[in-house]
Amino acid sequence: MRLDPTRRRLLAGLGCGLASSALPVHAAEAVTLTATDVHPSDYPTVEAVRWIGAQLQQATDGRLSIRQYHSGQLGRESDQINMARFGAIDITRVFSGALNNAFPRTIALCLPYLLRSKAHLRQVIDGAVGQRILDGFAARGLVGLAIYDAGARSIYNTRGALSHPTELKGMKLRVPPSDIFLDLMRALGANPTPLPFGEVYSALETRLIDGAENNLRSFHSSRQFEIAPYWSESGHSFAPDVLLVSQQRFASLRPNEQELLRDLGRRSVAVMREHWDAGEARARAAVEAAGVRINAVDLDAFRQAAAPVLARYRQHPEVAPLVDLIEAEASA
């Protein structure tokens, strides 16, 4: 992995603290936890972690605090997952699709048309399903703190409005590096192109890709709407984000500090949602004002095209019971 000079300097600075960070927190007067996110400073997930840092600092009289590296300063999400697992960073916010291979329980949150609405998603991640998914991170060096919902994901492109999956044939669409999203876009007829989030704007600008899929808030904050002015509301996934802590760092905290961090993680969900709901409404108004054409799609046709993907992934032994619970909650 090649790093630019700025990122190398940041990582070098983090590396200087690794030896001391392995010590129990109570052995030092003050400890600053590092937190990463690929999204900009005003993004709801960044705001939520900023709130955690302020609360943590206040509750510990300044002994524990958080320094944030937002806007992808420390690399891609896949890099940040491994950095957290091995203790190079302390906290990271990651898209659930990037976790599917290493943590298969997260597959249940990404499957197409399984989650019906934002309200359904929040019900699921606030309950038993969400807790089982958070518990699953302990097996591979991470502690799950919170699941942040991230709205409905839809398709946007540079060519024109889409209403039926057949119109996606041959279209090169960016997807996150996730098997589910690769399989889904193939099933819909598109040519999926996996790219890191930070490379999508230039790929659209240079016509390397014709479009992408994401939530409306990210579509706006990344300014991709400037190049891809057609937003088709396929709502094919409600895949959320996950807030993770390095197990090494978590183990170095005192028991009361561990519980404090867990509690703040749970409470930060409400903070994130307040920012999300307001920001999503502003994003929609802003892209419409900028001339983005928003259109409805034939949802039945999209669901039918995506059904084989849902059927295949739900056979996974760790995913099947979670899918059953999600469907039961939707029926209830």
Q: Is the pLDDT of residue 68 over 80?
A: yes
Averaged over 43-56, what is the pLDDT?
A: 98
Residues near 121 by Cβ (< 8 Å), separated by ≥ 6? 109, 115, 149, 238, 240
Residues near 20 by Cβ (< 8 Å), separated by ≥ 6? 28
Rounded CA-CA distance 158/225 in Å is 9
Does the domain made of 5-95+115-125+137-149+240-281 have the CATH classification 3.40.190.170? yes
pLDDT tens, position by position, 107-141: 999 999 999 999 999 999 999 999 999 999 999 99
Averaged over 182-192, what is the pLDDT?
A: 98
In the prediction, which pLDDT does 91 show? 98
Averaged over 221-250, what is the pLDDT?
A: 98
Domains 5-95+115-125+137-149+240-281 and 153-238+284-331 agree in fold:
yes
pLDDT tens, position by position, 152-185: 999 999 999 999 999 999 999 999 989 999 999 9
**pLDDT more than 90, % of the chain:** 88
Domain regions of the chain by residue span: 5-95+115-125+137-149+240-281, 153-238+284-331
> Would you give the distance in Å from CA 32 to the centre of its chain?
24
In the prediction, which pLDDT does 1 show? 42
In the prediction, which pLDDT does 22 show? 46
Averaged over 144-155, what is the pLDDT?
A: 96
Rounded CA-CA distance 192/31 in Å is 43
Asked whether the beta carbons of 194 and 95 are under 8 A apart, the reply is: no
Tokens of 38: 């690929």
In the prediction, which pLDDT does 7 show? 53
Counts of helices then strands in the chain (DSSP H, E): 14, 11
Asked whether the beta carbons of 280 and 214 are under 8 A apart, the reply is: no
pLDDT band (50, 70, 90) for residue 12: low
Phi and psi at 173, nearest 5°, equal -115, 130
pLDDT tens, position by position, 24-39: 444 457 999 999 999 9
Query: What is the pTM (predicted TM-score) of this model?
Result: 0.90
Mean pLDDT for the chain overall:
92
**Beta sheet of 191-194, edge-to-edge order:** 191-194, 172-175, 211-215, 153-157, 230-237, 293-296
Rounded CA-CA distance 132/90 in Å is 22
CATH placement of domain 153-238+284-331: 3.40.190.170
Residues near 1 by Cβ (< 8 Å), separated by ≥ 6? 75, 79
In the prediction, which pLDDT does 29 show? 78
Tokens of 332: 């209830």
Rounded CA-CA distance 235/302 in Å is 9
Q: Is the pLDDT of residue 18 over 70?
A: no
Tokens of 92: 């990271």
Q: Is the pLDDT of residue 23 over 50?
A: no
